[in-house]
Amino acid sequence: MFAVDRRSFLGTSVRSLAAALAAGPQLLGHRSSAGTHDHPTTTSPDNLFLTWQRDPTTTMTVQWVGHNTSYAESVISFAPTTTAAWASVKPTVRPFPLTDLKLFRAELTGLTPGGEYRFQIGHNPTTYHFRTMPAKATDSLTFVSGGDCGVNPHTAAVNAIAARQDPWFAVIGGDIAYDNGTSAATMLGFLRNYHQHMVDSKGRLIPMLACIGNHEVVGGYNGLRSNAPFFFALFDGLFRDTSYATLDFGDYLSLVLLDTGHVSPIGGEQTDWLDKALRDRAGRPHVVVVNHVPAYPSYRPSDDTGSGNREHWVPLFERHEVDVVLEHHDHTFKRTHPMRGGHIDRDGIVYLGDGSWGQLRAPNSPESRPYLAASGQSYHVSLHRLEGEQRYHMALEESGRIVDVCTTHKRPRHRIPS
């Protein structure tokens, strides 16, 4: 059973990669010739993207940055792809920090789980497409993750490889654009690339989730919320009161998005919150933690764990049987052995990373860093496939080459009572 599933995973992904490579440089350009995602017109925002503030099975949030005069009276009209049951919602309009631009946000609600939808802005003829997440994971489901992106040709190439996997969504684990809390132009550059590339093979926009990293914040660490103006402008629908949050997908997946000391200290309130958040989700098939600074670094010294997540969080991950932890910040590819209590343990937790969507460093080797099972110096994105209670993880280079494939096990039934 295992071998068949794994072969199927490899086969599917290799086929999509082959198509991506055959398409060549076209991947880095507009993908509108497919017909469903048209070329921008003069009033089509070039940085529009989708995200979630709450239930991904029944809502979708549309956001873009632009001049108020272009969209002041616009409403979003949306409908299932196969019917003309149109509904509409007026976007909220707020200042986009440090510019004279506005952030437009519209949450589409009352959607059907696992549904295919389309929407338009005002009278603009451009039609965008998306899908809602299913309520139950009756079929396999994939998403991509990575971190430390920026605005450069490598980021664009990894975007293209990510999109070609047809993921249901992407989660970026901090250091999104490298705006450093000061450069609106940098964040807008990242969003333009994301808008251009992160469209699946059926023309659907791929929603983006994110957690905060040091390059979102003036000074990197111990900042105020106001020191990360672009991150919170874009993502405060989910991070409404705190810089950490959970998002639950139907009855099958929970993402736990953490702040490794950039705005909120790791210890104290966030750790208390994490303990409860994980306890509340203990019975779910897939609990995935996403944070920026790694507990098990691949580049930085092994005792450099940021502001103490190995001390404060790892014991909670282990006690509550987190399934996998996605880490970033070190700009490498890495996979740890399953770890428990600081030792390799077959029932332990695998930490995947280490943030090289668009940034790169030379990692330590598994020989010199025993908790590492694999490491490499390659720009990459991780593809995760959930199938029942099984998880498959594939690391893909910007060229499309497969760097690594692994599985993570179901959580042991002998969970430690909390």
Q: Please tell me the count of residues contacting Fe ion according to CB under 5 A.
A: 4
Q: How far is residue 74 CA from its own chain's centroid? A: 29
- Of the CA atoms within 13 Å of residue 134, those in its CB half-sphere come to 10
Residue carrying the six token digits 């001049």: 67
Check binding of 173 to Fe ion (CB under 5 A): no
| Closest CB 244 distance from Fe ion, rounded Å | 16
Check binding of 97 to Fe ion (CB under 5 A): no
Check binding of 175 to Fe ion (CB under 5 A): yes
Residues near 355 by beta carbon (within 8 Å), at least 6 away in sequence:
146, 147, 148, 173, 174, 175, 292, 327, 328, 329, 330, 331, 332
Which one of 56, 181, 189, 213 is in contact with Fe ion (CB under 5 A)?
A: 213
Check binding of 180 to Fe ion (CB under 5 A): no
Span from 81-89, 162-170, 269-277, 328-336 in contact with Fe ion (CB under 5 A): 328-336
Check binding of 329 to Fe ion (CB under 5 A): yes
Check binding of 294 to Fe ion (CB under 5 A): no
Nearest to Fe ion of 214, 243 (CB atom): 214
Span from 30-38, 254-262, 321-329, 334-342 in contact with Fe ion (CB under 5 A): 321-329
Task: Please state the φ and ψ torsions of residue 295, each to the nearest 5 degrees.
Answer: -75, -30
| Closest CB 331 distance from Fe ion, rounded Å | 8
Check binding of 398 to Fe ion (CB under 5 A): no
Nearest to Fe ion of 223, 348 (CB atom): 223
User: How many other C-beta atoms lie within 10 A of the C-beta of residue 84?
Assistant: 6
List C-alpha distances in Å: 63 to 96, 132, 171, 189.
12, 16, 16, 15
| Closest CB 173 distance from Fe ion, rounded Å | 9
Nearest to Fe ion of 164, 292 (CB atom): 292
Question: Where do the DSSP E strands lie in 278-418?
Answer: 286-290, 324-326, 333-336, 339-340, 343-344, 350-353, 372-376, 380-387, 390-397, 402-408
Check binding of 214 to Fe ion (CB under 5 A): yes
Residues 59-78 close enough to bind Fe ion by CB under 5 A = none
User: Containing H/E element for 192?
Assistant: helix 184-197
Nearest to Fe ion of 16, 214 (CB atom): 214
Residues near 403 by beta carbon (within 8 Å), at least 6 away in sequence:
333, 376, 378, 380, 395, 396, 397
Nearest to Fe ion of 114, 220 (CB atom): 220
Span from 61-69, 266-274, 322-330, 409-417 in contact with Fe ion (CB under 5 A): 322-330
Three-state DSSP state, 78? strand
| Closest CB 185 distance from Fe ion, rounded Å | 20
| Closest CB 121 distance from Fe ion, rounded Å | 34
Question: Alpha-carbon distance 16 to 403, whole Å?
Answer: 16
Tokens of 396: 């893909």
Q: Report the interface residues with Fe ion, using CB under 5 A.
A: 175, 213-214, 329
